[in-house]
Amino acid sequence: MKPHWASVQGGRRPWQGLLLTACLLALWTPSAMSQLRIESVPPNAAEGQDVLLRVHNQPANTQIYRWFRGATTEEAYRLAAYSLSSNESKPGPANSGRETILPHGSLAVRNVTVNDSGVYTLDIFDEDFTSIKASGQLRVFAKLPKLFITSNNSSPVEGEDSVVLTCDPETQNTSYQWWINGQSLLNDPRLDLSTDNRILTLLRVTRNDTGPYECAASNLVSYNRSDPFSLNVSYGPDAPIITPPGSNVGQGTNLSLSCHTASNPPAQYTWLFNERPQSSTPELFIPNITANHSGSYACFAHNSVTGLNRTTVKTITVFELVTQPSIHASNTTVMEQESVVLTCHSRDPEITIRWIFNDQSLRLSSRTKLSEDNSTLSIDPVRREDSGEYRCEVSNPVSVKKSEALLLSVSYDPAQSSSDLSPGAIAGIVVGVVAGVALIAALAYFLYSRKTGGTSDQRDLTEHKPSASSHSRDTSRDNSPNEMDEVSYTSLKFNAAQPKEPTFVPPASTATEIVYSEVKKK
């Protein structure tokens, strides 16, 4: 009679010796032991999954499968046993109700937990009660829970506090990673990570460390990432900025100043005028200001968390708006080469005066002169191109006004031309004209002396022209008093170069002009 298949150990069965013999014989079958193998499917299971410990290369004449929890075959750790002859499976003392042996010998474990991780042993008996054992590993990893970030200081102060951020909850066999503003951590000496990367420390936080921060955890079966977490870093106030930037204001207008500073939490503001408190708001408004409002305006900013104060001072000067000036001339109609004086009249103090001629800024020349305060314009001598409309413009830092146009008429002799030549150039022209007249007179004298002088010099330059008839006819024509027998040409050379100095230049010159004089001989 065979022993009961569900339990073959414990010393309470009569066939214990037989089983011991079978176990000893199994030691002499290393080929069978080397072939038996257990595989976990999947190799890494997530908590809550179903896992199969699959058997490979079991003997063909297998009769009984027995599974144990751990690297043992003690009865107390038996999960289940299965008989192929009866197709019956019975649970063991260690069975949790989730372990089942399948007909082909594999062990199915449903809804595994992290506590199910460990070694599992299979003990096989063939029809001769020969025992073959093999062990396999079951790895179960917890599904990572929803992550969140905690901080030891929710409102750190810039430059003073350090912050410790922790990625929770802690899970075994888990890797952690951090992001700041959507980017992996940079190599920053102010950032420090724990050995397992779960804790991030920020040394001496700044306003740029606000975040957001994110952490992630992963193991072999799952991955999870936290929601963004931001720090509320207290900082400031920085030096206040007062707008608008200008410091000059027109009398009778409204003064509107605004103060702003970088601060967290927002700064508290106080305005002071000449050290006297005015208002406790970021804006200061004063309508219809007068000269009495000129002075220093200070914006005082305070941060109640950091305890810091900053102040900026602006000096405001109130100016009266300028009135329209008037323009007067010593004479509005003048002759060319005379002089004229234009005067800009204004009752406003501390003004700047600009002169305008024909709607453009007046361009000064050697003939125009301005007084030290620009109120008087002198033109000497006046020329015809000075005719036109003159205006003066007065301005201060807050306003500007132009006078009415004054029309200046310049009379001149149409026969004369207006020139901007310098006195030296005019003297050169006069000298040139005198030299030209002298040269012409010399030429006329020379021609006259040649005409009335001896005939010997003329023969050298006399050209006899034969007539169209025979020589006899020419001889007969010599007796005619009304006919000209021959034409005499005289060649003269004289200088035409303009002198460089106001003296007469001798005839030897680089430029030569040839003048021909025709002398008719009767």
Find out whether the peptide bond into 325 is cis, omega within 30 degrees of 0.
Answer: no
pLDDT at 417: 59
pLDDT digits (tens, 9 = 90+) for 174-184: 999 999 999 99
* 326-411 topology per CATH: Immunoglobulin-like (2.60.40)
Domain boundaries, the chain: 16-141, 148-225, 241-319, 326-411, 424-521
β-strand partners of 395? 352, 400
Both ends of the chain: CA-CA distance in Å?
187
Nearest to 256 by CA among 272, 266, 243: 243
The Cα 124–Cα 241 span in angstroms is: 87
Residues 6+ apart with CB under 8 A from 390: 327, 329, 342, 355, 356, 357, 362, 377, 405, 406, 407, 408
The Cα 93–Cα 192 span in angstroms is: 51
pTM summary value: 0.56
pLDDT higher than 80, residue 510: no
* 16-141 topology per CATH: Immunoglobulin-like (2.60.40)
The domain defined by 241-319 carries CATH number 1.10.10.10: no
Do 131 and 125 contact (CB within 8 A), yes or no?
yes
Nearest to 6 by CA among 135, 120, 101: 101
Least confident of 138-152, 381-395, 497-511: 497-511
pLDDT higher than 70, residue 198: yes
pLDDT at 424: 58
pLDDT digits (tens, 9 = 90+) for 418-429: 555 555 555 666
The Cα 499–Cα 493 span in angstroms is: 17
pLDDT digits (tens, 9 = 90+) for 331-351: 999 999 999 999 999 999 989
β-strand partners of 164? 201
pLDDT at 4: 53
Q: 29 or 255, which is more confident?
A: 255
β-strand partners of 298? 272, 313
pLDDT at 311: 97
pLDDT digits (tens, 9 = 90+) for 251-273: 999 999 999 999 999 999 999 99
pLDDT higher than 70, residue 186: yes
Instruction: Tell me the CA distances in angstroms from 345 to 231, 349, 353, 402, 417, one per residue in order.
Output: 67, 11, 10, 11, 35
pLDDT higher than 50, residue 478: no
CB atoms within 10 A of CB 369: 13
pLDDT higher than 80, residue 23: no
Percentage of the chain modeled with pLDDT above 90: 65
pLDDT digits (tens, 9 = 90+) for 41-66: 999 999 999 999 999 998 888 999 99
Q: How confident is the model at residue 322 (pLDDT cuts 50, 70, 90)?
A: very high
Instruction: Tell me the CA distances in angstroms from 382 to 112, 367, 519, one per residue in order.
Output: 114, 8, 54
The domain defined by 148-225 carries CATH number 2.60.40.10: yes
CB atoms within 10 A of CB 129: 20
Do 450 and 458 contact (CB within 8 A), yes or no?
yes
pLDDT higher than 70, residue 323: yes
Tell me whether the CATH fold assigned to 241-319 matches the one assigned to 326-411: yes
Q: How confident is the model at residue 378 (pLDDT cuts 50, 70, 90)?
A: very high
Alpha-carbon torsion angle 490, 495, 496, 499, nearest 10: -160
Amino acid at 127: E
Nearest to 159 by CA among 235, 240, 213: 235
pLDDT at 492: 40
Structure tokens belonging to residue 469: 């008839």
pLDDT at 441: 84
Q: How confident is the model at residue 187 (pLDDT cuts 50, 70, 90)?
A: confident
Longest dimension (CA), the chain: 194
Positive or negative, the CA dihedral 260, 263, 264, 269 is negative
pLDDT at 440: 87
Do 314 and 242 contact (CB within 8 A), yes or no?
yes
